[in-house]
Structure 1
């Protein structure tokens, strides 16, 4: 069965906010956010506000790539264009070769844009075709308020998503064991075909610092601001936090997630 058909029904249907009539307790957290515990929205702000998604878009890119004749050990060549993209990046050099699995890991763990470009170029004839596949995947996931233009999440005209849509994406992505595994890794390394070893750390500062944190993705651009999809599990409870346009992301996210668990039975 194709990955897309498996993912279509996996994202959770979220109920009405538990504290819908209460004042927003996190007025300075983000332009838009969604805080969910055990499938129940605790707090939210502007859940359908359309904003740039930054590198959170890489989760959709990962889903598209994984249903495209995926072979983790396939060697991909770094183009001059991929080697020239701005940070966050690994510092890949034009002409080097890395495996598809290594590129995927670097894209999800380090949010490396050069690895992201290598991956997209290796699995699609052109950017227009890849965008079309992203759009089709988003439609299958029920992301009705989203449009993706750049697979790596660079700010782009016409590109937008919402925290409500990104929660659907995050839940579908985490249902894929490989993505869940990579999203929870605090560090990793890859080896190029020529033997160069590149070590890299996760961009997710919650990993190893917040009990139960298991991912999932970060993002940050000039238009999007600080963005985050956090997944935390403790015993029988799980919390999702999706933020777009955040400020002081790590400190506030840590407090919001702790507050969510404090109200659990």
Structure 2
């Protein structure tokens, strides 16, 4: 087994030191999308009351139905008396209305309409209870292992639970799979049929910050007496996206301040570094009994590493393989691994591929290689 250290690029030599971050949220999960790096977790796998943040699962079910053609944006749903009577945040639909899918999406995202969620649930599954069972099953399929939903809106229920990790997984799925629909999470206001509710403006505090350094574009706030104030949020800076989920704050103001602090920390105290551009040769490895004595090692998509600035001088990068690599070698075959070790975080392991094919040598070439190998062993025996 061979391991070769690689000197890190000067891009890692950044200036300001990173600060330790302690969140005032009772539960939190912060995630860098491009590298799949969890930046922070606090009670992240504890099932908690998600309040209106669980509306993201209702929207996911509707988004999936749009993608597979069961509905269009112009499809309409009836409004039951049960939906009309829902309390809390409302879109203010009435039994005589036939809101479209697009209107309901706006009503859920911006107005956090509990009534709109029930309309969707009944329209898609017949009853809200049946829809909740479908959501719970779908959540499990998406890898959300601490989710059990009993209603479509996040209405308080002792069995209605999600972890902050699960909500983050769901947010990442929505952003990745439904980019054209995800854009709607940046809407700041919406009113259905001129009925002006008190919640006509999106409660997401980050959408109106306009810091100039980063831009927030989603996703959903939540609040009940039991859950406290929470937020599933996402922001972008220079093409880098961060998703975060917090819960248990004691006020709307505390939620806004903590959300801004988390986003600033995630962008300022971690740096994205392109360690290996896509297609670039990392190094050349020796080949055993091939028509060529060496083969280039490359990656399929390049290697990007997210580095906490505080430990930038402690990052270790190795290329690991069993060598020399025996011929024949197919172009694109996985023959080595690039291992990046960042203190305090799991190793990042990227497959390294053969940059070109190396056929097996003919009889004379194999004979020459065998003689050279025997000579090297003899030298080792004498000097060892």
Which runs of structure 2 are paired with 1:186-205 in the superposition (5 Å)? 186-191=188-193, 196=194, 200-205=200-205
Instruction: State the match for 1:232 in structure 2.
Output: 235
Q: Which runs of 5+ in 2 are unaligned?
A: 1-17, 272-384
Cα distance in structure 2, aligned partners of 1:127 and 1:79: 11
Equivalent in 25, 29, 32 of residue 30 of structure 1: 25
Equivalent in 216, 221, 230 of residue 218 of structure 1: 221
SS in 2 for 1:147: coil
Q: 1:100 to 1:116 in 2, by over 3 A?
A: same
Contact 2:92–2:195, Cα closer than 8 Å, also in 1: no
Instruction: State the match for 1:44 in structure 2.
Output: 41
Contact 1:24–1:45, Cα closer than 8 Å, also in 2: no
Equivalent in 246, 260, 264 of residue 249 of structure 2: 246
The farther-off stretch of 143-152 and 204-213 is 204-213
Contact 1:54–1:153, Cα closer than 8 Å, also in 2: yes
Contact 2:216–2:233, Cα closer than 8 Å, also in 1: yes
Q: 1:86 to 1:40 in 2, by over 3 A?
A: same
SS in 2 for 1:226: strand
The alignment's TM-score, normalised by the length of structure 1, stands at 0.83
Instruction: State the match for 2:329 in structure 1.
Output: none
Cα distance in structure 2, aligned partners of 1:32 and 1:189: 32
Contact 2:228–2:248, Cα closer than 8 Å, also in 1: yes
SS in 2 for 1:115: helix
Contact 1:24–1:43, Cα closer than 8 Å, also in 2: no
Instruction: State the match for 2:57 in structure 1.
Output: 60
Instruction: State the match for 1:11 in structure 2.
Output: none
CA RMSD of aligned residues (A): 2.1
Q: CA deviation at 1:24?
A: 6.8
Cα distance in structure 2, aligned partners of 1:78 and 1:178: 27
Q: 1:249 to 1:135 in 2, by over 3 A?
A: same
Cα distance in structure 2, aligned partners of 1:179 and 1:218: 18
Whether 1:119 and 2:120 are equivalent positions in the alignment is yes
Which runs of structure 2 are paired with 1:86-165 in the superposition (5 Å)? 86-165=87-166
Q: CA deviation at 1:183?
A: 1.0
Q: Could you list the per-position Cα deviations for residues 92-117 of structure 1 after superposition, in whole angstroms to 9, with x for gaps in the alignment?
A: 22322211210122112221111111
Instruction: State the match for 2:265 in structure 1.
Output: 259
Cα distance in structure 1, aligned partners of 2:19 and 2:204: 29
Instruction: State the match for 2:183 in structure 1.
Output: 181
Q: 1:197 to 1:156 in 2, by over 3 A?
A: closer
Write out the 4+ residue segments of structure 1 that deviate beyond 6 Å after TM superposition: none
Q: Could you list the per-position Cα deviations for residues 59-96 of structure 1 after superposition, in whole angstroms to 9, with x for gaps in the alignment?
A: 11112123341222122232222122112112222322
Contact 2:150–2:159, Cα closer than 8 Å, also in 1: yes
Cα distance in structure 1, aligned partners of 2:128 and 2:76: 20
The farther-off stretch of 85-94 and 135-144 is 85-94
Q: CA deviation at 1:178?
A: 4.2
Q: Which runs of 5+ in 1 are unaligned?
A: 1-21
Q: Could you list the per-position Cα deviations for residues 13-59 of structure 1 after superposition, in whole angstroms to 9, with x for gaps in the alignment?
A: xxxxxxxxx997334x2110012235322222111111011111111
The higher radius of gyration belongs to 2
Q: Could you list the per-position Cα deviations for residues 191-214 of structure 1 after superposition, in whole angstroms to 9, with x for gaps in the alignment?
A: 4xxxx5658321212103144101
Count of equivalent residues: 239
Instruction: State the match for 1:3 in structure 2.
Output: none
SS in 2 for 1:223: coil
The alignment's TM-score, normalised by the length of structure 2, stands at 0.58
If asked which structure has higher relative contact order (CA below 8 Å, sep 6+), I would say 1
